[in-house]
Chains A and B, each alone.
Chain A
Amino acid sequence: MTTAMKYRNDFLGEVEKNVEEGHWVRMCMQCGVCAGSCPLGNAWAHPPQELFMMIRAGKREEVLSSDSMWMCTSCYNCIVRCPRKLPITHIMHGLANYAHRLGLAPKGQPTRETATLFWNNLIKKGRVNELTFSLALYFKDGFVQGIKNALNMQAVGLGLVKAKRLNPMELLGGHGVKDQAGFKAMIEKARQIEDRKKGFAK
């Protein structure tokens, strides 16, 4: 790729079209209040205003493979403080989702893995099963690490069981919606429309 070609791409257009709330990106005036307001601010290699400028500069690879937007805790500080009222939290979520669905997000990024486990857990029955979600998290890096993680959190887990805030019987099924068929058909349809709209390969 020649240098000239590198700058001829239209990543901003792509983000505006395909990323949730991406049409706001060109409104950023680079003040940096978002970066200063983020509870995990120092963990971002590229804070939001920098990601916005990188998008406008066409740095597709760098943005989508960055782990920065995966640092968002969904605290919404950036949204309420942004002088131009950009929905920054949602744009960060949108970028993370877009990078994830394109397969460009960093492999093994812990929030990325957690998010996938969470979503798969919730769409299985329509409600989150906290026990199987926790176990899936502990065991995501293999059996031995899973046992270690579970033992580490054993006191906490037993405390929760004793306080009736964690139910070992959830392993056998647990909570869920009654209209399983309708729920699944709805999610399937929504995913289909989204994939078609945003050009995700099936």
Chain B
Amino acid sequence: MAKKEYAFYPGCSSQSKASASNYLTSVNAMCDKLDVTITEIPDWNCCGASIGYAEGGELPRLALSARNFALAETHLPGKEMVATCAACWLAQREVKERLDGSEQLLKETNEALAAAGLKYQGTTPVRHMVEVLIEDLGYDALKQPVVKPLEGIKFAGYVGCQTNRPFGIAGESFENPVYLDKLVETVGGEAVPYDQKVTCCGGALAFSEPEKSQKQIRDIVESAYDHGAEMIVTPCPLCQANVEIYQSEINKKQGTKFSMPVLYYSQLMTIAYGGSAKEAGLDGQLIKATRLEEIARK
């Protein structure tokens, strides 16, 4: 297989000792096994996430993502940008669409970038890591390195919102995307059908509207249990954090007994490819994925 190289935009949550640091750990291990090289974009900044709009407005937000593109174009020319975070990917894609579609906004954004000595050229496409996996490599290539299939483990593939809407993965439906289930099956696990696959976890409103968000999270976890899942798997750092972290809060307030591990696809792949629990970032789980740890030790 030809070696693939990308300009990597990890995002704030994937920095060392941040809330999705175990996502980054497992992505690094997974890319190693797949011979994919990801080079961090030097000095990248936050994308503004899905809550930045209210204070940040339009142009400062456009400038944030445009700066990341400009840095990639300057330091890693010719390489496509790949993001692992749903919000980072979405923001970069939205901004690219907006700037490529409006000369006025492009002019104003570049005026702001000039203050940092940078220029947006619009030559760099942005991809989500999932797109790299299934489009650039393909399911067959993803299956090849599997040495420890995740046999007998039932996963609820939780796609969530922002890797699914408004752009989504090409060829997938918004209401019932199947790529995550296919990834689970590719590494030997079982994907259970369940009805909360694309339900919103509350996103950033988990902070500001905890009750409303926890109702969403409860629906998601409950449905995973009802359909026989042992673990949830997701491509989004905020979905992972919200759905894992708040289970104990919901238990405390509502007397449920939730204890369902919430993993990233990259963690499943790292374990199936023979990586250690540490390489898969399993030490980063608040709710331990014991059965995956067992497979890693085998």
Interface residues of A (CB under 8 A from B): 20, 39-40, 43, 70-71, 73-77, 79-81, 87, 89, 93-94, 96-97, 100-101, 110-116, 118-120, 122-123, 126-128, 130, 137, 155-156, 159-160, 163-167, 169-170, 175, 177-179, 182-183, 185-191, 193-194, 197-198
Contact = CB atoms under 8 A, between A and B. Distances in A.
B116 A20 contact: no
Contact of B46 (A39, A79, A127, A159): A127
A100 B55 contact: yes
A186 B65 CA distance: 12
Contacts of A110: 208-209
Interface-central residue, A110, A126, A189, by most chain B CB under 10 Å: A189
Given A74-B162, A115-B53, A163-B283, A128 B46 contact: yes
Given A182-B116, A183-B45, A97 B111 contact: no
A75 B54 contact: no
Contacts of A111: 51, 54, 204-205, 208-209
B252 to A, nearest CB: 9
Contacts of B16: 167
Chain B: interface residue count, which band?
Answer: 35 or more
Contacts of A191: 57, 59-60
Contacts of B19: 130, 160, 165-166
A182 B119 CA distance: 13
Nearest to A133: B207
Interface string B53-80: 1111111101110010000000000000
A25 to B, nearest CB: 16
Nearest to B108: A193
A138 to B, nearest CB: 10
22 contacts: A39-B199, A40-B205, A40-B212, A74-B50, A74-B51, A77-B200, A79-B165, A93-B53, A96-B53, A97-B53, A97-B56, A114-B51, A116-B55, A119-B52, A119-B56, A122-B52, A163-B286, A177-B44, A182-B116, A187-B63, A188-B115, A193-B108
Given A74-B50, A74-B162, A114-B204, A120 B55 contact: yes
Given A73-B205, A75-B161, A119-B54, A39 B113 contact: no
Given A185-B115, A186-B116, A165 B18 contact: yes
Given A40-B205, A96-B54, A111-B209, A128 B115 contact: no
Contacts of B261: none
Contact of B112 (A97, A116, A128, A190): A190
Interface in B264-298: 283-286
B22 interface: yes
Contacts of B222: none
A112 B207 CA distance: 11
Contacts of B20: 165
A190 B62 contact: yes
A192 to B, nearest CB: 8
B204 A73 contact: yes
Given A113-B208, A182-B115, A75 B203 contact: yes
B17 interface: yes
Contacts of B18: 130, 165-167, 175
B13 interface: yes
A20 B64 CA distance: 16
B186 interface: no
Nearest to A167: B17
A74 B204 contact: yes
Residue in A165, A167, A188, A198 with the greatest tally of chain B CB atoms within 10 Å: A165
Contacts of A114: 51, 204, 207-208
Contact of B284 (A71, A163, A177): A163
